[in-house]
């Protein structure tokens, strides 16, 4: 492997370890804050680092449109461009082409689409996706795939998955191996066990540094998602990192870790922070809710983030009611801290052989109150 992966402890199917990349070590299980356009929204790189994050995610689709991968390369690469000195994983753009792009035309060669920004036409092939990620200097590069929409018939899912597997082989051929830099394959196949198995077999025959599970968190629901993990994860190489793409909520992450997943990314904590939603040990809070207008307590006692150590719930409520930009900044900082503390708790629990107890304790606290709901002021 070009990026050594060390498994340090196991608790049933869950494991904790370290992935060694060119720009540093990633402690697993790991949650990657999403920095789609070379920035984690409302956060400086220093603030992101302070939450405990080892790695962030960037995106091929967005960066190829603006400012372009070539421009970033001329300016010294993505790490220098955004002032982040840790590892970066870049998604190859397949999901964004499906969800954002206009007039998408799919072929064996690749995908032609119109930009959601200005309607300009672009082509993304497996080779071009790898080239862009090389120009960015990504520590972990993802193969180009078609993110199969949900729901899909078995025939649709099979055709989509097999195209992705052919693209995966071309992505591997285009990738330049070097120490500290990894290429991950992506398992597809929708909710069909035999298709997921066929996809795993194809990827293992090609050979990758790590294996992602894609095509989930697209509307299938948690029960179906966890079911896919139940029969897919055991098919993946034990000694390679496993990445569940686009997931998720705290419950999803814990359930996936218990099934052997090592890496996650999701926009939920940053997006929630921008819309006054706070994740706490006692569940979600809507900071626009009138019940916080006179609440002098910290958002969450014991949380080390600035939102909790320096400000009250009443102040956070005020910032959102006044539409001050500091509100989204502080709540994003808190949510990312909450997620990183969750990951540290999971790592510690696996090391101590008490993951089941940790999960039960978390769920009891987290579900003691329901989400605050809509603004009532």
List, by residue number, the catalytic residues: 91, 265
Task: Find out whether 362 and 275 touch, Cβ atoms under 8 Å.
Answer: no
Measure the CA–CA gap between 237 and 214, rounded to whole angstroms: 16
Give the Cα separation of 30 and 3 in Å (integer): 16
Rounded to whole angstroms, the Cα distance separating 45 from 56 reads: 10
In 3D space, the residue among 250, 57, 245 whose CA is nearest the CA of residue 139 turns out to be: 57
Q: To which residue do tokens 């190829």 refer?
A: 64
- SS3 per residue for the chain: CCCCEEEEEEECCEEEEEEEECCEEEEECEEECECCCCCCCCCCHHHHHHCCCCCEEEEHHHHHHCCCHHHHHHCCCHHHHHCCCCCEEEECCHHHHHHCCEEEEECCCCEEEECCCCCCEEEECHHHHHHHHHHHCCCEEECCCCCCCCCCCHHHHHHHHHHHHHHHHHHHHHCCCECCEEEEEEECCCCCHHHHHHHHHHHHHHCCCEEEECCCCCCCCHHHHHHHHHHHHHHCCCCCCEEECCCCCHHHHHHHHCCCCCEEECCHHHHHHHCCEEEECCEEEECCCHHHCCCCCCCCCCCCCHHHHHCCHHHHHHHHHCCCCHHHHHHHHHHHHHHHHHHHHHHHHHHCCCHHHHHHHHHHHHCCCCCCCCCCC
Burial label, 162 (beta-carbon count in 10 A; 0-12, 13-18, 19+): middle
Distance CA 243, CA 223 (A): 18
């Amino acid at each position: 492997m070009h990026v050594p992966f060390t498994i340090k402890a196991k608790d049933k199917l869950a494991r904790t370890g370290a992935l060694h990349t060119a720009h540093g070590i990633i402690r697993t299980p790991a949650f990657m804050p999403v920095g789609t356009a070379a920035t984690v929204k409302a956060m400086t790189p220093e603030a992101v680092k302070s939450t405990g994050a080892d790695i962030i995610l960037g995106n091929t689709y967005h960066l190829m449109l603006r400012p372009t991968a070539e421009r970033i390369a001329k300016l010294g690469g993505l790490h220098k461009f955004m002032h982040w000195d840790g590892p970066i994983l870049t998604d190859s753009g397949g999901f964004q082409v499906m969800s954002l792009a206009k007039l998408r035309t799919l072929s064996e060669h690749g995908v032609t689409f119109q930009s959601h920004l200005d309607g300009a036409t672009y082509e993304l092939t497996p080779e071009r996706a790898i080239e862009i990620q090389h120009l960015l200097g990504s520590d972990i590069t993802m193969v180009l795939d078609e993110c199969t929409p949900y729901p899909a018939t078995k025939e649709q899912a099979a055709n989509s998955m097999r195209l992705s597997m052919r693209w995966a082989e071309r992505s591997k051929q285009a990738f330049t191996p070097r120490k500290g830099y990894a290429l991950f394959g992506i398992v597809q196949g929708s909710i069909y066990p035999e298709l997921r198995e066929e996809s795993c077999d194809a990827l293992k025959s090609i050979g990758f540094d790590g294996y992602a599970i894609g095509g989930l968190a697209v509307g299938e629901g948690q029960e179906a998602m966890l079911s896919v993990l139940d029969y897919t994860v055991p098919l993946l190489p034990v000694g390679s990192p496993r990445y569940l793409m686009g997931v998720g909520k705290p419950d999803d992450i814990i359930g996936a870790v218990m099934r052997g997943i090592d890496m996650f990314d999701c926009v939920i904590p940053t997006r929630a922070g921008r819309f006054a939603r706070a994740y706490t040990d006692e569940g979600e809070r809507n900071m626009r809710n009138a019940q916080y207008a006179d609440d002098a307590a910290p958002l969450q006692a014991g949380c080390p983030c600035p939102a909790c150590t320096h400000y009250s719930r009443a102040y956070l409520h005020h910032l959102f009611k006044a539409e001050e930009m500091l509100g989204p900044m502080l709540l994003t900082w808190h949510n990312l801290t909450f997620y990183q503390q969750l990951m540290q708790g999971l790592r510690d629990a696996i090391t101590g052989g008490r993951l089941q107890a940790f999960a039960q304790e978390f769920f009891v606290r987290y579900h003691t109150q329901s989400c605050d709901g809509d603004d009532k002021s």
